[in-house]
Structures are given as structure tokens and as C-alpha cells.
Structure 1
Amino acid sequence: MVDLIGSVFILAGSVFLFSAGLGLLRMPDAYTRIQAGTKASTLGNMLVLIGLAFYHPNWTFQLILVVYFVLVTNPVSSHALSRAAWLIRTPMASTTMTDALIDEEERGAGEKEA
């Protein structure tokens, strides 16, 4: 039964990792690709590591450390990549309605002038 539970977690994680790869191919611009890849790969990696913990109970502590590392580094790296893309003026998809960073930049410039 434990092997079945571990297999289900690994299969679910594989589905999310596949969807992350698919998101990288299907999304219209760099920002949505970064978001799709990060969210799906974070969950996919966590599910695969939980599945591995069921297969190898002795590795649980090390796998928890890896899950923690993934939870900390994926969002931070995603933010850094998106911010760098915005700073070098990577174009957004034509369907994007607002650019919150431009709005924030304009408000900051207005406060400096006053």
C-alpha cells in the first residue's frame, strides 16, 4: 500500500512537471512562461519528493530539506527573472491589460516631483 501511495504522488508530480514544460511552450510571453514554469514545477517537484519519501523512508529528512530549498528558491528566482525581463523591456503579450510596475514607477516619479 505504501508503494501505491508513493507511486500516486510521483505520478501526480510528473503530471505537474509535464504541464510546466507545456506551459513553457504554449504561453505567449516571457512573463507568463516564467510564471507557468515556476508554479507547476514547484508543486511537481514537491509531489515527486513526497513520493520518494514513501519509497525510501530513511531519506525523509533529506527530502524535507530539498522541498524547503525548492519552496524558497523557485519563487525568488522567478521574481528575479521576471524583474530582469521587465528592466530590459522584454515585450509583454498584446493581451496584457496593465503593467503594474509602470504604474508604480509613474506614482514614484510623481511623488519625487512634488
Structure 2
Amino acid sequence: MSFAAQALRKGVRRVLLFQALLTLTVAAAFGYARGRHDFMSAGYGGALVMLLSAWLGRGALRSAGLGGLYANAVTRYAAAVVLLGLGMGVLKLAPLPLIVAFAVAQFGFLANVHRS
């Protein structure tokens, strides 16, 4: 495995770990304040972000070119819309905790910012 691939894998792991920490924090706050249903809703929103982040890392490793990266991005956006709709529509999860956890977990990408 090349150095770049190892660095990418390490970065993806770091981001996923930080996103899991953020998700658990938000879910615990909603669970404490509003109950089990909101805890589960927030957990779903954060888990969705982690799934999409893992998908991004996998796509970046497997991509043969710019076209592959664009296809991965379009697929991830479509999956995000479908899975958010599934969570709120079919699973009847609470929208506020789901969206808040989704947004907060996105900040997990800051875990991969390197300081010089």
C-alpha cells in the first residue's frame, strides 16, 4: 500500500472516530433532554454522516480519475437525500435531532485538519 493510501486511511479513521464522538454527544444531549426517541433520531443522523464519510474515503481510494470522484459525490448526495427522507418519512424519526446530529457530525472533518 502506498504512503498516500495509508495517510488517507488514517485520516478517514480519525474523521470517523471524531464523528462518532460528536454523534454520541449530540444523541446523549437529546436523549437526556427529550427522551429515547430523540436519542435514536440523533443517532441515525450521525450514523448517516459516518456512512457517507466512509463511502467518501472508499471512493477516493478506489477512484481511477476525476470522473470517478464526481460519480461518487453525486451518488453520496443522492444517498443522503434518500436516507434522510427514509429516516423522517418511513421510520418516523424526529426531524430536529436527526438534522442537528447530521449537521454537527459533519464537523468531524475538522479532525483531519493538520497543523504545520
TM-score, structure 2 as length reference: 0.49
Which structure carries more relative contact order (alpha carbon 8 Å, separation 6+)?
2
